[in-house]
């Protein structure tokens, strides 16, 4: 019974590096099909510093504004995971680059135990960055009636998504349909939290127009006082998360296919030059 239940769970909650082999983890985390290894390492470092700096600035500003209520918002959950993920990816890129430069080391093929955790974080933050952006500009601050935004609000709702998408396209870290359970689980966890928040009357640290302060919903547009409105939004958000995850899986497939095609072209050109046929690759 347990084995029949775990089998479908393993199909969508994978932490594997497929289609790569486990021992190829240095190439996965420390190299890019587009950038040179040192440039890619610098790129990873810049992303880690960018996310860490913005996370600290975001904490410093909004904790002072919202106090304990800072921890109730989806945006803040995802920004924290994104920061941890980018810092971890930089550490793995640094470690992987060292392994690649010392391939004769006896432990060069041993995979760090933190990699499955890095894959889970990567699987969550990539699609969820786009989901948060879509939800914010569709529900909280509709793009057709956009309110002015300070930069510290723009970063976790738009800039981070662009940076993470760039990270996805330049890296080799896998994401496929076997990983889609992680963003769905994260989304379901936040929905469960919103229900707990409602029934325990946690509220916010500032009053709202309609309810007592301990009855205020996390988001006015997702209010469990009105389930007839919240349930359709819930299903749309979960369906959207699944569709975005499938889209990201397709993007990664296209990324890897292009990388494979370029590698084959370079190999063909190298072989042609060795045979003296320089015209095949443009001289």
Rounded Cα distance between 272 and 195, Å, is 64
* Mean pLDDT over each residue of the chain, to the nearest integer: 90
Task: Determine contact, residues 29/89, Cβ cutoff 8 Å.
Answer: yes
Give per-residue pLDDT as tens, 129-154. Answer: 999 999 999 999 999 999 999 999 99
Task: Quote the pLDDT of residue 6.
Answer: 47
Q: Count H helices and E strands in the chain, helices first.
A: 9, 0
> Following DSSP, what letter does each residue of 236-278 receive, concatenated?
HHHHHHHHHHHHHHHHHHHHHHHHHHHHHHHHHHHHHHHTT-G
| Domain residue spans of the chain | 11-101+108-281
Confidence of residue 40 (pLDDT cuts 50, 70, 90): very high
Give per-residue pLDDT as tens, 229-249. Answer: 999 999 999 999 999 999 999
């Amino acid at each position: 019974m347990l084995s029949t239940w775990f089998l479908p769970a393993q199909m969508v909650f994978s932490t594997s590096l497929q289609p790569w082999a486990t021992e190829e983890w240095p190439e996965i985390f420390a190299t890019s099909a587009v950038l040179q290894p040192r440039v890619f390492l610098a790129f990873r470092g810049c992303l880690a510093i960018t996310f860490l700096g913005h996370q600290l600035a975001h904490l410093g500003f909004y904790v002072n504004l919202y106090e304990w209520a800072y921890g109730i918002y989806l945006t803040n959950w995802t920004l924290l995971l994104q920061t941890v993920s980018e810092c971890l990816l930089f550490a793995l890129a640094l470690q992987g680059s060292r392994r690649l430069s010392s391939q004769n080391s006896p432990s060069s093929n041993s995979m760090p135990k933190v990699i499955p955790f890095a894959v889970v974080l990567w699987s969550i933050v990539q699609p969820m960055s786009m989901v948060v952006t879509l939800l914010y500009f569709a529900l909280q601050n509709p793009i057709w009636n956009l309110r002015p935004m300070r930069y510290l609000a723009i970063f976790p709702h738009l800039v981070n998504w662009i940076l993470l998408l760039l990270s996805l396209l330049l890296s080799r870290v896998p994401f496929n349909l076997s990983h889609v359970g992680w963003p769905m689980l994260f989304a379901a966890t936040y929905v469960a939290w919103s229900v707990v928040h409602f029934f325990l009357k946690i509220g916010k640290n500032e009053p709202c127009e309609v309810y007592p302060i301990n009855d205020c919903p996390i988001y006015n547009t997702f209010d469990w006082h009105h389930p007839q409105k919240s349930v359709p939004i819930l299903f749309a958000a979960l369906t959207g998360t699944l569709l975005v995850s499938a889209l990201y899986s397709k993007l990664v497939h296209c990324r890897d296919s292009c990388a494979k095609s370029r590698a084959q072209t370079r190999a063909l050109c190298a072989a042609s030059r060795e045979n003296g046929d320089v015209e095949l690759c443009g001289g």
